[in-house]
Amino acid sequence: MQAVKDFAYGQPLEATEAEKVVQRLIRVLFRGHMLCSTPNNSNENTVSFSYKRPFGCESGQPQLVRPHRLGELFPHQMLYVLRHYVYDGLQLPVFTALSGEIQHDLEDVDSIDFYEHAYIFDKNFLRCFYVMDSCNLHGNTYEAILTEYAPLEETPV
């Protein structure tokens, strides 16, 4: 029996860097998680972010796709992986990994743990994939089902 690996890639980003990356993801694709307020006696708006996941969809028409879509859109590119589950004490564990490695892992979910509810996105924030907690039988293995999101505008922010 093959050992099950954790859905994590190398060292996660440092906490403040990971927070900035997730804030950018929210600004581009999930704006409903930006909270604006005007403090008393001030005309300046402040923006805070809700990191509660799953993020609500505000980005066009999401579609269900298979893991091979990662390789189609981003062949041999480094992608961000935002795990849903706490990793090494980090509330926003963000990793970087090659698209092919992530695709390979998601094409056989029996060989990985803690992949559910993760977000995978490119460094230009052109696409984001939400890893659902269900899977499909494809050949002899179970593969993850992904929801693909694109920004309402096709240009990076």
DSSP structure string for 73-113: HSTT-EEEEE-SS-BTTBSS-EEEEEHHHHHHHHT-GGGEE
Reported as a single tens digit per residue, the pLDDT across 7-22 is 999 999 999 999 999 9
What is the pLDDT confidence band of residue 44, given thresholds at 50, 70 and 90?
Answer: confident
Does the pTM surpass 0.75? The reply is yes
Domain ranges of the chain: 5-149
> Contact at 8 Å (CB) between 128 and 117?
no
> Contact at 8 Å (CB) between 7 and 105?
yes
Model pLDDT, residue 45: 75
Reported as a single tens digit per residue, the pLDDT across 49-62 is 888 887 876 656 78
CA 45 centroid distance within chain? 28
Model pLDDT, residue 157: 44
Distances (CA, A) of 8 to 35, 46, 71: 30, 33, 18
Give the pair of three-digit tokens for residue 33: 């998680």
Residue 50, CB-side half-sphere exposure with 13 Å CA sphere:
12
